[in-house]
A and B are shown apart, each in its own frame.
Chain A
Amino acid sequence: MNKRRPNPKQVPDPTEPMWRSTLRVAMPLNLSYIPIGLACGILLHAAGFNTFLTGLVSLLVFSGGGQFLIATMLTINSPLLSIVLMLFFLELRYALLSSSLSPYLKGQSNRFLFIFAVSLNDENYAINYLKFATDKKWTVREALAVEHYSLLFWATSNVIGSLIGSALKIDLSVVHFALTSLFLYMIVMQLKSHLTVLICLVSAVLAAFFMIVTKSTLGLVIATIVASLIGFGLEELLQKKMPNSHWLRRMHSPGSKKSVVEHSDAN
């Protein structure tokens, strides 16, 4: 990938080079990629991917959910088109992430945007969005460095996982729960109002219903589209008719983003 030399002119603190200050920001994420990347590498190996292809998919797709999905769908012998379609819907959420980052990337060349988009991911998005929103000195080069660190750790953990998978016999149904846990974690991070909790329940019921009816993972796609449209419609309706409804109220939780920011500003 396009790993760039840090530009010394953009270092905000002259005593610390950029590669170290960005590594410090990216490190909690890098460490959390290790167990998930290992699990993902093991599953990809079981799905028939060799170690080289496991590294390649980690660099090119760079999505925990996407790569687990590829592994799972390969082991149940899904057709190529079905895998790619499911992957597309899974990755569609990045449209939201990249549009919300776009105000901070105004004026960059298309070449830079290309490089930035290739290594964008849920988790490095969370870091960079927070940094852009709270730290006026945070530059696009630093944001890209954080992306590249997380990509490096992700791909390395996947490759090591693939090697572990070829050396040891592992209970795959347990390893697969790493993905379920990852999704559960991401759901919890997304619960911002009572309405989103309701939409979760709606989506759960619809997903079970449509998967049983269609006898395929296409049911997931239908459930996602219907549930998100219901959420969109309900929110519009509530904002017009009853703007003080408790369904729209923001939910608070321990250690929410705000306190994370305060904590990282303090040190």
Chain B
Amino acid sequence: MNAVNNWNSTQHFWLIILGFVVAFVPRFVPLMLFTKRAIPEWFNEWMKFVPVSLFTALVVKDIFIDSSSYGLVLTNYPLMIAAVIVIYIAYRTRSMAVSVVVGLAGVFLLSMFL
């Protein structure tokens, strides 16, 4: 990953404002609606599967997809092994901080030796 971005601060600022809008609307609208009326059951049932599907897709992108050619990469061994370690640590400890720190240390050490 190289820092090759050439946007200026004004463009970054507008990105933040738009980012705020898309981050805020999904947090606020259901809160405003559903404190006044009941939640449709199907909506809840469907939304239940959205986070887990999205997070998995993002992890697959990070580990198995090349970020410039969008080709499949099956040789990223340090990341693959570190991912297995993180899953195990997250399952055992249920601690976000421990999982992230172990993941960072793991990928740092593994990419030195592999």
Contact = CB atoms under 8 A, between A and B. Distances in A.
Interface of A: 29, 31-32, 34-36, 39, 46-50, 53, 56-57, 60-63, 65-66, 70, 72, 74-77, 80, 83-84, 87-103, 105-108, 110, 113-114, 116-118, 120, 123, 171-191, 196, 199-200, 202-204, 206-208, 211-212, 214-217, 219-220, 223-224, 227-229, 231-232, 235-236, 253-256, 260
Contact of A94 (B23, B35, B67): B23
Contacts of B99: 181-182, 184-185
B114 interface: no
Given A75-B5, A256-B94, A110 B23 contact: no
B12 A180 contact: no
B104 A178 contact: yes
B47 A95 contact: yes
A171 B11 CA distance: 26
A253 to B, nearest CB: 6
Interface of B: 1-7, 9, 11-20, 22-24, 26-35, 39, 42-65, 67-68, 70-72, 79, 82-83, 86-87, 90-97, 99-104, 107-108, 111
B30 to A, nearest CB: 4
Contacts of B101: 35
B23 A63 contact: yes
A260 B96 CA distance: 14
A106 B33 CA distance: 10
17 contacts: A29-B96, A35-B97, A46-B3, A62-B23, A83-B15, A84-B18, A98-B34, A101-B31, A117-B27, A176-B1, A185-B99, A203-B56, A207-B57, A207-B58, A214-B70, A254-B92, A254-B94
B28 A98 contact: yes
A73 B61 CA distance: 12
A183 B57 CA distance: 10
A184 B87 contact: yes
B75 to A, nearest CB: 14
B114 to A, nearest CB: 13
Contacts, number: 314
Given A66-B19, A185-B100, A229-B46, A118 B31 contact: no
Given A32-B96, A76-B68, A180-B83, A99 B59 contact: no
